[in-house]
Amino acid sequence: MNPNAHAILIGIDHYADPKLPSLHYAEKDCRDLKTALSAPESGTFPEENITLLTGAEANCQNVRERLTALAVTKRSPEDTVLIYFAGHGFYIPALDQAYLATPDADILQLQKDPSRGLRMDWLRDEIGHRSPARNIILILDACYSSAVMPGSVLETNRYFMIDERYYRAPNGRTAIVACPVEAKLREDRRLENGIFTHYLLKGLRGGAAEPGGAEVSIDSLMAYLRLHLPGFLPPPGRFGNEFERIVLTRPRSAAPTPPLSLEAVGDAGVAASFRPLDNPVAPFEPFIDHLIHHISSADAEADYEKVLLEGICRASQAQFALLLRRGEGQRWAARAINSSALGQASLSAYSEKILPLVATVLQQHELFSTAHTGLCSTPAPEGAHPLHTAIIPLRREDPGEILVVAGLPEHPALLNDVYAEILKAVYVSSYDLSTLNAEIIEAGIYDRLRRQFGFLPLSMYERRFELFTRRLQQMAIYFQPIVFLDEEKPHITRWEALARDPENLRSPKDLFYAAELWGRRFLIELDQHFIELAVERYREATSQTPGMRRIADQLPISVNVYPESLIRVAYYEKLREILSEKRRILGQRLYLEISEKRPIPPVEKGSGLFQFVEDKSFEGVLKKYIRDFQIEFAIDDFGVEHASISRLLKVYPNNVKIDREILKSDAVYYAIRFILDFVKTVSIEQSFRNPTIVLEGFDFAISRKVDLRKLYDIGLRYIQGYLSGEPGPDLVRLERDYDELIRALLKK
């Protein structure tokens, strides 16, 4: 036993909020974990050092007080503290906050007072950061548990000024999370535990013992979980690094694994007898094809909800489908209803059979459980063959819409999570459409399946890439000015090329989301397309702009690029091709903005551009671009998610753009002054030129809340946003209205 090892185990089965359905084994998970950690023959945690908080005792106030006392106040630098949580986790988009659910959690009240719940960032900051203990180990068996680490719960989640060293350097803070992506966790009555915790316990009892020994460390436990957790669960995530190897249990019964010797049998027929494992998504290709064919055949101006319901009925071979929306007073009303096989009289009779069943399910709250994607049963109208009914909530974060598909034939392969996710994707993808667009809906289906199930059949991957490239070709480039602040004569110093959807003149977020979701091939295709399109549109615009027709008179242009693309030969060659035609643009006029929303890719020796640079690092690759093309680099979205500090040291930018999220801060002036001073200090210490710093997102609404004069007085000199001019296809001078408004704001 280790006298300096302490544990706080929290588990909750029952909740006051009806949006949080009861669990069966979260509290038992805690008791079982206590037994495993403190077992006399194998545990390393003394039983008296383990605190259990379960049931009503695990209310928010008590959990906070006990965690603060047991993990912070009473700890010393020699201690190791393990914090375990089993229960619900949830995310509130309006607050951009994820919570661990305590029995007294009230999701509606949290939206009015976010401080009343057990926020995951509180656990990280107030416990993980403040504790004097040498090691803090977090093990979270909850949905959205990755939110305990900054910037990792959802693509929309942002946290300001987080150094990537928090993730990678040894810091004595380690988190093992059951749900590193937006997915759901499950219990299993046969196992009598949550599934993640069942395998956690098996590992601690000996399954995760290190080869050649009988000790279970954090490393060996993590390797065991990733190897043995069922494929329908998301793979567990790990963040942070402990200072030294930490032993959790010493199960003496674990026999050392003998070394294995691999020797081919020399029989080609053996290899030929193997086949790829079945993919759960593959059987749904005909279903998706049938559904999309119906949608694409419909009139673009048709009632899209009825078209979607008709398509779902036909592709599912169902008799009846309806969409329900919750109104005031918990009353539900049908938004659209459809039957592809029933007459009006039969439809009414069928509705009378199905709707009471749906009402009963809604009253029991089981429909919105995070343990499943929906429910199905086998009710049938009298005199008919047994038929299935599927009831599917369309959006977990807003349980106000449900889809009912009834009269489904007996088809076990159809009624599963894949079917539910496809139908959800159909509706979620159509929410922002003013008219039906079958290709966007089809792309949304593949994206959701990719996010939820990971690996998709090659045919689906290729089809998604085809849809991706088609949509890329539809995009336009607009230019937004970056303005130098001057009390007498503010003026444009540079332009940023922005991708825009011609249909609505908004950023095509679906394209960026898809590129980040599907990876390298999509990222490179997107960046190659937009750098070429941006430069070509800039050449056309400058040729029509007085004072900029000569290439030497052109102002610089900024184009965004993903870090992953910069290390690829294909992107480098595309840039070489563009800059070789000097009539288009000079390298000195081109800024590549590297977003902080993506991590810097690791060094891949012998691949990509790494094979052509002596310095096998990301910095070495950037130096090659600068040396070969004389271009400049900028950091975009500074202060968002990925390593503001370390990225500044790796990129040596000519320009730093502060993300607009900072404008929402109550300490906006302090934060911007801090960034200005910080960037200046780093540039001096690292002996590179002091970058220009641009504040993004400064518009008319912000100008009424944030004093531009105060920002000017603390040293800010560049802004970008609607206050400096709206994006447009042409290059124009700073319009008189904008000029006068900026000067007026500076003279307050």
- Hey, how many other C-beta atoms are within 10 angstroms of the C-beta on 7? 26
| Model pTM score | 0.69
- DSSP-derived letter for residue 721 is S
Between 617 and 327, name the one with better pLDDT: 617
User: pLDDT at position 667, please?
Assistant: 85
Q: How confident is the model at residue 151 (pLDDT cuts 50, 70, 90)?
A: very low
Return the H-helix or E-strand segment holding 707.
Answer: none
Q: Which residues pair with 247 in a beta bridge?
A: 217
Average pLDDT over residues 26-33: 95
Q: Which residues pair with 6 in a beta bridge?
A: 81
Q: What is the pLDDT of residues 86-140, one digit of tens each?
A: 999 888 877 778 899 999 999 888 888 888 899 888 888 888 888 889 889 999 8
Distance CA(27)–CA(82), nearest Å, equals 17
Distance CA(126)–CA(633), nearest Å, equals 37
Distance CA(535)–CA(724), nearest Å, equals 22
User: pLDDT at position 154, please?
Assistant: 38
Q: Which residues pair with 692 in a beta bridge?
A: 655
Q: Any idea where the domains of the chain sit in the sequence?
A: 5-249, 282-453, 475-746
CATH 3.40.50.20 for domain 5-249, yes or no, is no
Residue 220 has pLDDT above 60, yes or no: yes
Distance CA(152)–CA(137), nearest Å, equals 18
Average pLDDT over residues 59-80: 91
Candidates 415, 457, 422, 418; CA nearest to 443 is 422
Q: What is the pLDDT of residues 544-600, one digit of tens each?
A: 887 776 766 778 999 999 999 999 999 999 999 998 876 678 888 899 998 766 777
Distance CA(636)–CA(618), nearest Å, equals 17
SS3 639: coil
User: pLDDT at position 660, please?
Assistant: 85
- What tokens does 498 get? 């922005």
For the domain covering 475-746, report its CATH number: 3.20.20.450
- Whole-number average pLDDT of the chain: 83
Residue 246 C-beta-side C-alpha neighbours within 13 Å? 25
Residue carrying the six token digits 């081109």: 590
Return the H-helix or E-strand segment holding 99.
Answer: strand 97-100
Q: Which residues pair with 10 in a beta bridge?
A: 53, 85
What is each CA distance from 569 to 128, 442, 565, 616, 663, in whole angstroms? 42, 31, 8, 15, 38
User: pLDDT at position 733, please?
Assistant: 81
Q: How confident is the model at residue 638 (pLDDT cuts 50, 70, 90)?
A: confident
For the domain covering 282-453, report its CATH number: 3.30.450
Q: Which amino acid is at 181?
A: V
User: pLDDT at position 185, please?
Assistant: 64
Q: Are domains 5-249 and 475-746 of this chain identical in fold?
A: no
Q: What is the pLDDT of residues 643-692, one digit of tens each?
A: 455 566 667 788 888 888 888 888 889 889 988 888 888 787 766 677 89
User: pLDDT at position 640, please?
Assistant: 58
353 within 8 A of 381, measured Cβ to Cβ: yes
Q: Which amino acid is at 97?
A: Q
Spell out the residues 6+ positions from residue 39 whose beta carbon is closer than 8 angstroms to its own.
249
Average pLDDT over residues 26-38: 94
User: pLDDT at position 225, please?
Assistant: 86
Candidates 721, 716, 722, 634; CA nearest to 670 is 716
Distance CA(301)–CA(303), nearest Å, equals 7
358 within 8 A of 404, measured Cβ to Cβ: yes
Between 252 and 176, name the one with better pLDDT: 176
Residue 380 has pLDDT above 90, yes or no: no
**Interaxial angle between packed helices 438-453 and 417-430, expressed in degrees from 0 to 180 and rounded to the nearest 10:** 140
